[in-house]
Amino acid sequence: MINFSSDLILWYKENERSLPWRLTKDPYRIWVSEIILQQTRVDQGLMYYKRFLQHFPSVKHLAEASEDEVLMCWQGLGYYSRARNMHFSAKYIVNELKGVFPENYESLLNLKGVGTYTAAAISSICYNEHRTVVDGNVFRVLTRLFGIETPINTGNGKKEIKELAHSLNTGEQNGIFNQALMEFGALQCKPKQVDCLSCVFKDSCFAYINNRVDILPKKEKKNIVKNRYLNFFYIKDGNNDVLIKRREKKDIWKGLFEFPMIETNKHCESSELMLSQEFVQFLNGGETVVKGIKEITHLLTHRKLFIRIMELKVDKHNNIDDYLQVNNKELVNYAFPKPLQAYIEEIK
C-alpha cells in the first residue's frame, strides 16, 4: 500500500467528525480530552469534556480546585483515578514546572496517569512529534488490511501492530495521521456491519479480498472477571440524616463517598447482615424499620458488582469516627459512585 498515509489523510479530511478537541492544539485541552476518552465513548465524553473545561478552563484553575470539586465534575464518568491523577498532575505543572505544560513525549510521561499511549497522542497532536498511537480501532484496521493473524491481546500481537503502524506513518503529519487511523476504525472499518464496498482500501485489503473481515482481528480468550458483593445501608434517623463516609482505601471509587457498607464473599440474606457486629455498630438502640431494598448489578472492566442498598429508618445513629451525618437533601453535594448516585436521585 504505497500511498497509505496520504490516502488515509485524504479520507479523514472528507469524513472526520467535528469534535471540539480537534479545533485546538492547546496541550491542556488535548490532555483533558485524551484522559476522558481513555475509558469513555466519544458521545458520552463530549459532554464531560465541555463541562470539565467550563469548570477548569486552564491547568491553573484545575490545580487550584479542591479534590471534591474535581470529583463532582467527573461524577458518573467512572474510573475516578483518572480525575485524581489529573488533579495531582495539574498541581505538579503549576508548582514544579511554573505552569508550563510538558512539551515533549518524555516529559509528558512524568504526568501521573499519562502512559505511552496518551503521551504519544498529545506529543504528536500538539508538537508534531513522530509518535504513533495505537488503540483498538488501529488494531482492527491494520489486522484486516494486512491480514495479521496474531491475537491482538498478546505481547507479540501488540508489538507487531505498533511497529507496522509506525512504519506506515511518514512522520510529516503525525497528529493527523494518528487521528485519521483511529477515526477510520471508528467510522469505516467498524467491528460489525462493515461497509467494505464503500471503502477506499477495498482493492488492496487482505481481509476483504480473502473474506476474513468477520474473523479479524483475533483475540486469545481470557476470563478474569471477579464478582464482588457490596451491601450498603442507607440509614435515616429522625432528623432525616444519613451516615456517609469517604472511601480511602486503594480500591475502586477511591475518594468518593458511600453509605455504611459490608462486603461479603457471596450473596447473604439481609436479615443475616443486620445481625452482624459490623452492622450493629451503626445503631443506637431503638427500633430499626426496613423501608426498602434495592438490588443492582454493576459491571466494571474486571469486576461484576452485586450491589444491595437497604433503606432503614432508626431513631438515632451512633456517632462513629470517619462517618459524617448528612441530611438526605444535602447528599447531592457529595460525589458518590454511579450506582449510589442513581439511587439517591431515585429516592429524593
List the interface residues with ligand SF4, window 210-229 (CB under 6 A).
213
**Catalytic residue from among 14, 34, 345, 346:** 34
DSSP-derived letter for residue 239 is T
How many C-beta atoms surround the C-beta of residue 3 within 10 A? 9
Amino acid at site 35: I
Task: Based on the residue annotation, tell me whether 34 is a catalytic residue of this protein.
Answer: yes
Which CB, 115 or 191, lies closer to ligand SF4?
191
Smallest distance from ligand SF4 to CB 194, Å: 5
Q: Which stretch binds ligand SF4 (CB under 6 A): 16-24, 54-62, 204-212, 286-294?
A: 204-212
Smallest distance from ligand SF4 to CB 185, Å: 8
**C-alpha grid cell, residue 20:** 471540539
Instruction: Annotate 15-52 with DSSP letters as a single string.
Output: H----GGGG---HHHHHHHHHHHTSS-HHHHHHHHHHH
DSSP-derived letter for residue 257 is E
Which CB, 194 or 273, lies closer to ligand SF4?
194
Q: Is 196 in the site for ligand SF4 (CB under 6 A)?
A: yes
Q: Is 205 in the site for ligand SF4 (CB under 6 A)?
A: yes
Q: To which residue does cell 479523514 refer?
A: 12
Smallest distance from ligand SF4 to CB 15, Å: 12
Q: Is 189 in the site for ligand SF4 (CB under 6 A)?
A: yes
Residue 143's φ and ψ, nearest 5 degrees, are -65, -35
Q: Is 303 in the site for ligand SF4 (CB under 6 A)?
A: no
Q: Which stretch binds ligand SF4 (CB under 6 A): 119-127, 159-167, 186-194, 246-254?
A: 186-194
Longest CA–CA separation in the chain, Å: 80
Helix and strand numbers, DSSP H then E, in the chain: 15, 7
Q: Is 187 in the site for ligand SF4 (CB under 6 A)?
A: no
Q: CA–CA separation, 14 vs 1, rounded Å?
A: 20
Smallest distance from ligand SF4 to CB 138, Å: 12
302 within 8 A of 323, measured Cβ to Cβ: no
Q: CA–CA separation, 119 vs 116, rounded Å?
A: 5
Smallest distance from ligand SF4 to CB 204, Å: 9
Q: Which stretch binds ligand SF4 (CB under 6 A): 43-51, 90-98, 197-205, 306-314?
A: 197-205
Which CB, 1 or 332, lies closer to ligand SF4?
1
Q: Which stretch binds ligand SF4 (CB under 6 A): 42-50, 150-158, 189-197, 219-227?
A: 189-197
User: Which CA distances in Å does 117 have to 30, 69, 72, 225?
Assistant: 13, 27, 26, 25
Task: Please choose, from the candidates 104, 155, 164, 154, the residue with its C-alpha nearest in 3D space to the C-alpha of residue 134.
Answer: 164
The residue from 101, 201, 232, 257 that contacts ligand SF4 (CB under 6 A) is: 201
The residue from 42, 72, 109, 194 that contacts ligand SF4 (CB under 6 A) is: 194
Which CB, 125 or 180, lies closer to ligand SF4?
180
The 136-175 contact track toward ligand SF4, x by CB under 6 A, reads -----x--xx------------------------------
In the chain the first and final C-alpha atoms are separated, in Å, by 60
Residue 47's φ and ψ, nearest 5 degrees, are -65, -45
Q: CA–CA separation, 218 vs 144, rounded Å?
A: 10
Q: Which residues bind ligand SF4 (CB under 6 A)?
A: 141, 144-145, 188-189, 194, 196, 199, 201-202, 205, 207-208, 213
Q: Which residues are catalytic?
A: 34
